[in-house]
Structure 1
Amino acid sequence: MKFVVAIILFFSLATHAQTSEENRFADVEKEFVALAKKYGVQTADLGVYATVGEGKDMKVLLNVNEKRTMIPASISKVATASAVLAHFPPGHKFKTQLLGTVDPKSSVLKGNLYLKGGGDPSFVSENMWFLVNAFTRTGIKKIEGDIIVDDSLFDKVRYDVSRQKERVDRAYDAPSGAMSFNWNSVNIFVRSNGKGNGAEVFIDPENEYIRLVNKAKTVAGSDNKLLADRQEDKKFDGDVIHVGGSIGQGLKEVVIFKNITQPDLWSGYNLKSFLAQRGIQLTGSIKNGVTPEKADVLAESESKAIEQVVADMNKFSNNYVAEMLTKNLGAVKKTKGASLADGVQVINEHMQSLGVPADQYRLDSPSGLTRENKMSSFAMWKVLQHLRDDFQVQPEFLTSLPIAGVDGTLKKRMKNSKAERWVRAKTGFLTNVVSLAGYAGIEDGHVITFSFIYNGSTDEAKVRAFFDNLLIYLVK
Structure 2
Amino acid sequence: MPRPGNPGARLYPSAETLVARAKLGATSVGFAVADAETGEMLEGMNPELPLPPASVAKALTALYGMERLGADHRFATRLVATGPVEAGVLKGDLVLVGSGDPTLDTDRLAELASQLKASGISKVEGDFLTWDAALPNLHSIDPGQPDQVGYNPAVSGLNLNFNRVHFEWRKSGSGWNVAMDARSANRRPDVRVSRMEIVRRKYPIYTYEDAGDIDRWTVASGALGTDGARWLPVRKPTAYTAEVFQILAGSLGITLPAARLSAALPTGQELARVESEDLREVVRGMLKYSTNLTAEAVGLAASAAAGPRPDTLTASAGRMCDWVGSEIGGAASVAPALGSAMGSVGTGSLVAGEPGPTSATTGPALIDHSGLGGDSRISAQDMVRALVTLGPRHDLEPLLKSIRMKDTKGRPIANYPVKILAKTGTLNFVSGLAGYAVQPDGRRLAFATFVADVPRREALTRAQRERPDGMSSWVARARRLQLQLIDRWSGVYSA
TM-score by length of 1: 0.80
Structure 1 segment 10-409 matched on structure 2, within 5 A: 22-25=6-9, 28=12, 30-41=13-24, 45-52=28-35, 54-55=37-38, 60-160=41-141, 163-165=142-144, 168-192=147-171, 196-205=173-182, 206-213=190-197, 229=206, 231-232=208-209, 234=211, 237-243=213-219, 244-245=221-222, 254-282=228-256, 284-290=257-263, 293-334=266-307, 339-351=312-324, 352-357=326-331, 359-390=362-393, 393-394=394-395, 397-405=396-404
Between 144-153 and 295-304, the greater mean CA deviation after superposition: 144-153
Q: Contact between 1:25 and 1:61, CA under 8 Å: does it hold in 2?
A: no
Q: Contact between 2:80 and 2:267, CA under 8 Å: does it hold in 1?
A: no
SS of aligned partner of 2:86: coil
Q: Contact between 1:328 and 1:343, CA under 8 Å: does it hold in 2?
A: no
Q: Residues 432 and 19 from structure 1, CA distance in 2 versus in 1: closer, same or farther, beyond 3 angstroms?
A: closer
Please provide the CA RMSD for this pair. Answer: 3.3
Matched letter for residue 98 of structure 1: L
Aligned partner of 1:426 in structure 2 is 423
CA distance in 2: counterparts of 1:372 and 1:212, whole angstroms: 32
Q: Residues 138 and 227 from structure 1, CA distance in 2 versus in 1: closer, same or farther, beyond 3 angstroms?
A: farther
Q: Contact between 2:147 and 2:208, CA under 8 Å: does it hold in 1?
A: no
Structure scoring higher RCO (CA < 8 A, sep ≥ 6) equals 2
SS of aligned partner of 2:426: strand
Count residues with an aligned counterpart.
Answer: 430
Aligned partner of 2:338 in structure 1 is none
Q: Residues 191 and 474 from structure 1, CA distance in 2 versus in 1: closer, same or farther, beyond 3 angstroms?
A: farther
Matched letter for residue 23 of structure 2: G
TM-score by length of 2: 0.77
From the CA coordinates, give the structure whose radius of gyration is larger: 1
Q: Contact between 2:303 and 2:320, CA under 8 Å: does it hold in 1?
A: no
SS of aligned partner of 1:171: coil
Structure 1 residue 154, shift from structure 2 partner: 2.2
Q: Contact between 1:49 and 1:64, CA under 8 Å: does it hold in 2?
A: yes
SS of aligned partner of 2:43: strand
Q: Contact between 1:209 and 1:266, CA under 8 Å: does it hold in 2?
A: yes
Q: Contact between 2:435 and 2:447, CA under 8 Å: does it hold in 1?
A: yes
Structure 1 residue 305, shift from structure 2 partner: 1.3
Map Cα deviations across residues 229-280 of structure 1 (whole Å, 9 max, x no partner): 463452x51223445447666xxx6330001111111111111111111111
CA distance in 1: counterparts of 2:150 and 2:11, whole angstroms: 44
Q: Residues 212 and 164 from structure 1, CA distance in 2 versus in 1: closer, same or farther, beyond 3 angstroms?
A: closer
Matched letter for residue 122 of structure 1: T
Matched letter for residue 35 of structure 1: L
CA distance in 2: counterparts of 1:145 and 1:64, whole angstroms: 64
Q: Contact between 1:414 and 1:472, CA under 8 Å: does it hold in 2?
A: no
Structure 1 residue 337, shift from structure 2 partner: 6.5
Structure 2 gaps, min length 5: 183-189, 333-361, 457-472
Is residue 446 of structure 1 aligned with residue 443 of structure 2? Answer: yes
CA distance in 2: counterparts of 1:144 and 1:184, whole angstroms: 30
Structure 1 residue 372, shift from structure 2 partner: 2.5
CA distance in 2: counterparts of 1:179 and 1:362, whole angstroms: 28
SS of aligned partner of 1:173: coil
Map Cα deviations across residues 133-178 of structure 1 (whole Å, 9 max, x no partner): 1111121122233321101222334345xx3446512111101001
Structure 1 gaps, min length 5: 1-17, 217-224, 407-411
Structure 1 residue 335, shift from structure 2 partner: 6.2
Identity among equivalent positions (%) equals 23
Q: Residues 144 and 230 from structure 1, CA distance in 2 versus in 1: closer, same or farther, beyond 3 angstroms?
A: farther
